[in-house]
Structures are given as C-alpha cells and as structure tokens.
Amino acid sequence: MQWELVVGLEVHAQLLTDTKIFCGCSTSFGAPPNTHVCPVCLGLPGALPVLNRKVVDYAIKVGLATNCTVARMSRFARKNYFYPDLPKGYQISQFELPILEHGYLGVNDDSGSPKDIGITRIHMEEDAGKLVHPDIPGADYSHVDLNRACVPLLEIVSEPDIRSTGEALQYVKKLREILVYLGVCDGNMNEGSMRIDANISVRPMGQEEFGTRAEIKNVNSFKSLEQAIIYEQSRQIDLIEDGGKVVQETRLFDADRGITVGMRSKEEAHDYRYFPDPDLLPLVIEEEWIDAARDTLPELPDAKRSRFRSQYSLPDHDADLLCQSIDMADFFEEIVTLHNDPKAASNWIMGYVLRDMSRDELNSVKEAPITPTHIAGMLDLIKEGVISSKIAKDVFDEMWATGKEAKVIVEEKGLTQISDTSEIEGIVDDILAANPDEVASYRGGKTKLMGFFVGQVMKASRGKANPGLVNQLLKSKLEG
Amino acid sequence: MKISKEEVEHVASLARLEFSAVEIETFASQLSSILEYVEKMGELDLAGVEPMAHVHEIVNAFRDDVVAPGLTNEEALMNAPYPEDGCYRVAKVIEGE
C-alpha cells in the first residue's frame, strides 16, 4: 500500500532578551547553577510575575514575519504539572488566547512546487529549569538548576501540513533564518536555543482522515529531525502492515541510535488543567505597537534572496548562501559598494570566507579577522593586474591570518605580479634552456607539455609572473 | 453539574493529594453543589457579553528588559532540604527506557 506521511512541528525558540520573561534575572548562558534566580522564578510564595515588554515586542515581530494575525487581546494561562525542574508546579504559558495565530511559511514540496505550511499559533511561555543527572554510577538523585527557569520562549506550532522530510527541513530552516534575521533568537540548536517536537503520523494515500500520531520529543538538530521522521514513518508503517495499531504517545528521539523510544508516562500526566493565570493582567496590543514593530522589521530572507538575484544578477545558489545570514548578506553588499563586481565578491565569499569561517568555527562573519574592505582591496589589486588570482589566494590567507590589508601584504612580501616582459622573458629562456628534451618533444607535436612549461616558469617566479604573458611568451618562443 | 467520586480521585491524584473514602464522598458532594450554584449563570441571557479575562479592569503591566539583582546562591538554597553543589538535590526522575 502507498502511505502518506503527515507531520506537524512545534518549535520552541529561546528569545534573546537580557532578562527573564517575568522577572529581572539575567538570561545569560553558562553561569554557576542557581545564581540567576529570584523569588519569582524560584516560585516562592507571594512573588508576582511582571511581563517583560521586550518579549511581547519580539513576539509581534515574529508574528509579522510569519504572516500571523496579532491578537488585540491575549492572556496567560497556567499549565499544571509536577516535575522537579518546574518550581511553581505550573508553567506560565498561553492557552485559549495566544498572542499570534493563522500564519504560514512558504516551502517547496518534493516536486519543487511552492506550498504554504500553516502556522496554527505562536505563544509566549517560560522555560523550565534544568535537571542534571550526576555522573556517579548508581546515583539515585538529580540536581536542579533553576537559572533557565522563566527564560522566555516562543512556541511556534505548525499545522499538520508537512508531507515529507524535505518540507520539514525547509520549514525549520526558514523559521530559524527568520528568527535569526529578526535578532530575536540565536538559532543555536546544539545549545538548545531552538528545540523541536515533531507530531508524526501516516495514513493510506488518498485517505482524508489523519492517522494516530506520535509526538517525538528531543529533536535538536536538522539531522535529528530528518532521522526521527524517517525512523518514525517506517516504524508506524511496519506496525500497521503487521496488523498492529499506532498508539498516541510521547516518544523520545535517541540521537545516538537514530531511533525513537516510547516514554513510560501515565496517561493522566497530560491533563494540564489550564486556567487563566490570575497573577498576570490581560495583554492588549494596540495598532500603534504593531505598526512600530513593522517599521523595525529588516528585509526578510526570501525578499533579500530575490533582490540579490535581480540586483546583482547572482545565480540562485549564490543568493541562497549569501542570504543565509544577515551579517553575510551585509558583508557581501559592502564589498560590492567598494568594488563593483558582485560575482567575484560572491565567489571569494563562498570559496574562501565560508571555508575559513567553518575551519575557525565562527558563527558570524562579523567575528572574522577580515572586513569587506580587505576583500574589496584585494579585488582592486586583481583588477589592476597588480596580483594574479593565484597570488590573491595567498594574499587572502595572509589577510585572514594577520588582519592586514591586501595592499600592505603585497608590498611587504613583494608579491606584485611581474608584468615586465623582459623579466619574464629571462625566466622563460632559462626554463627552455634547462629542459631541452621537453622542448624537442613539444616541437615534435606533444603540445600538452605547455602546461609543464607554464608550471616551471610560475614556480621559478614564485607565482608572481603574469600568467597571460607567460603563456604568450612560451608560445612564441616554442613555436616561433 | 454532578462531580463523581472518580473525578475527585483523578483530580486528587493529579494534585498529589490522598484522601480517605469519606473525604472523597464529602468533596464530591461539595464540589457538585458549588458547580450547581455557578450554573445559575446559565439562566441569564449573556449574549453579547464579553467573557471576563481578569477580575481587574486594568490591562498591560510591563517591566523593562533590565537586569535586576536577585538572590545569591546561598539565599536561594537556604530552605532546600538537600543542597548540593549549588543545586537542589531531588529524587531521580525516571523517564524513557
């Protein structure tokens, strides 16, 4: 039988505020345990939460960028459950009246046709603390660190519109890109700044009704998302084809083994008894606030890509890569302002800047030791014929290593290209004299030896000879 | 609205509370009579009345995103029965396999 995959995703994105959502404790990562805490986030009796305005501001921006409707009135609710990382015995979240609803993001389906993935809702909530299991064999206890408790999250819930791993990956990548572009989330999946739960089911192709779904938790990378969907899809199909039934349950993704594992949890545990949180006032958002947020939106990734394609005549691949981050797109545009050759700028970024960034494990081009001025200066020198593209590669490495401008490096190292015919002629004569056998073979018809001669001349000139001139001179001397 | 014994037991277990059979009977009848009382509202014509979001009429209380001093680690753990390594020590939670 033909089966159809149905996936809906819940993405938790940690917001880049300085303080927590309901108290003034710092959200910075890596502090000693339980040092960014106060009576509010510890859930001490009598402490009252007060909403961080910036969280609302960020949520509105995300809503606008994902085509959501911003609710004029929304409110917070308590989600009740017991777990040691949740000090109050409830999580403050939103239930009936979330701040954002009815959005969508565009992706391409497996045949390449555009389709929209609906966004049911986006709501604000607080994160839980962290349970640390001590690395002691047989330890029957855990440690609780509440620094993360009350850190602001957006939960972004998609419609079950996703039909393939390809669509799922595109959706999350797009979402991540938008969050990072907006500067509201660092998008760092391995540090847990973005966490994904995937609702996965299968149904016979053509059937209207959804199959029973499993909720897969702990999917924390693109690779895990892909593996989890593939594994879960085949698990469910095998189960049904063997006469079994999919049970609605929560399963954990085990990244080491690439499989999902059922969690032993009681059915009752999912009765969250939501009710409006009386400690927090309703949130009313006026048009002016939404307009002000709209005014601060940056150019979004899709719009930027299409502008890069048309304004700079770049191929899709280049526009895609350059626009993966706003910093890189800005870096590119600054180079082009200084040296108007978009394709050359793009080639150097894709070939060398990205290579060195990944080698040095840099997250942003802003952390790179070179600036757009460095690259533009180097491109100027190539264009003026001062250095060859080959030498430029060495200059690039030197710029990256020392932070010096191309011009300075070329002067200090004497890398200026030799375009003086008589100087090159001397080298060419030496090479021909030193290789009489090859010269004879060449003249006898083995013209492929041209490469050998060029190589020898370039080597003798330490790469500085103008390759065009070298070719020209060799040809006239060998054939003339 | 009638609240059954089973519903009282369910809510009690979610709240980690334990009651005797007699108490469960009592609570079932008390909760039922409270809900019946609230049901009187159903007799009113409330078409066009906005559901109440909060007992106060004011809305929007915010704080600015500015770090404020909190508690020290010692203060935070002052009432913890088993502080250890700057953390609260709790019984191990078993989940998954």
A350-366 mean pLDDT: 91
Residue B27 lies in a domain: yes
Cβ-based interface (< 8 Å): residues of B facing A: 10-11, 13-14, 16, 53-56, 58-73, 76-77, 82, 84-97
Where does the pLDDT of residue B94 fall: very low under 50, low under 70, confident under 90, or very high at 90 and above? low
Where does the pLDDT of residue A35 fall: very low under 50, low under 70, confident under 90, or very high at 90 and above? very high
Residue B32 lies in a domain: yes
Q: Which residue of B has its CA nearest to A18?
A: B65
Evaluated on CA atoms A310, A315, A317, A319, the torsion sign reads negative
Residue B33 lies in a domain: yes
pLDDT of residue A176: 95
Residue B30 lies in a domain: yes
Instruction: Identify all chain B residues contacting A144, using CB atoms and an 8 Å cutoff.
Output: 87-90
Residue B18 lies in a domain: yes
**Alpha carbon of B54: minimum distance to chain A alpha carbons (Å):** 7
Rounded to the nearest 5 degrees, what angle is found at the Cα of A129, between the Cα atoms of A128 and A133? 130
Domain segments of chain A as ranges:
3-290, 299-413, 421-479
**Alpha carbon of A94: minimum distance to chain B alpha carbons (Å):** 13
In chain A, residues 389-428 whose CB comes closer than 8 Å to chain B: none
Contact A53 B70 (CB under 8 A): no
Contact A50 B62 (CB under 8 A): yes
Residue B31 lies in a domain: yes
Tally of domains within chain B: 1
pLDDT of residue A122: 97
| Half-sphere exposure for A22 (CA within 13 Å, toward CB) | 26
Rounded to the nearest 5 degrees, what angle is found at the Cα of A135, between the Cα atoms of A130 and A140? 80
Predicted ipTM? Answer: 0.86
Q: Give the Cα separation of A14 and A185 in Å (integer).
A: 6
pLDDT of residue A327: 92
Q: Which residue of A has its CA nearest to B53?
A: A282
Instruction: Determine the distance from the C-alpha atom of residue A227 to the mean position of all C-alpha atoms in its chain, rounded to a whole number.
Output: 18
Q: Mark out the alpha helices in A339-435 (DSSP H runs).
A: 342-348, 354-359, 372-383, 389-402, 406-413, 421-434
- What are the respective helix, strand and coil percentages of chain A, to the nearest 5? 40, 20, 40
Q: Is A18 on the interface with B (CB under 8 A)?
A: yes
**Whose CA is closest to A181, among A262, A302, A283?**
A302
Q: Mark out the alpha helices in A183-311 (DSSP H runs).
A: 222-241, 287-295, 301-311
pLDDT of residue A269: 55
For residue B30, what are the domain limits? 5-43
**Alpha carbon of B13: minimum distance to chain A alpha carbons (Å):** 9
Instruction: Identify all chain A residues contacting B82, using CB atoms and an 8 Å cutoff.
Output: 141
Contact B93 A283 (CB under 8 A): no
pLDDT of residue A53: 97
The least confident of A86-95, A109-118, A239-248, B27-36 is A239-248
The CATH number of whichever domain residue B11 belongs to comes to 1.10.20.60
Q: Which of A33, A83, A271 sits opposite B14 (nearest CB)?
A: A271
pLDDT of residue A297: 94
Residue B84 lies in a domain: no
pLDDT of residue B96: 40
Q: Is A146 on the interface with B (CB under 8 A)?
A: yes
Instruction: Identify all chain A residues contacting B96, using CB atoms and an 8 Å cutoff.
Output: 252, 261, 263-264
**Alpha carbon of A83: minimum distance to chain B alpha carbons (Å):** 8
* DSSP run (H or E) holding A371: none
**Alpha carbon of B53: minimum distance to chain A alpha carbons (Å):** 6
Q: What is the pLDDT of residues A45-104, one digit of tens each?
A: 999 999 999 999 999 999 999 999 999 999 999 999 888 899 999 999 999 999 999 999
Q: What is the pLDDT of residues A245-288, one digit of tens each?
A: 888 888 989 888 889 988 765 555 568 889 999 999 999 999 99
pLDDT of residue A248: 87
The least confident of A265-279, A300-314, B10-24 is A265-279
A·B CB contacts under 8 A: 145
* For residue A185, pLDDT beyond 70: yes
| CATH-assigned architecture of domain A421-479 | Orthogonal Bundle (1.10)
Residue B12 lies in a domain: yes
* DSSP run (H or E) holding A29: none
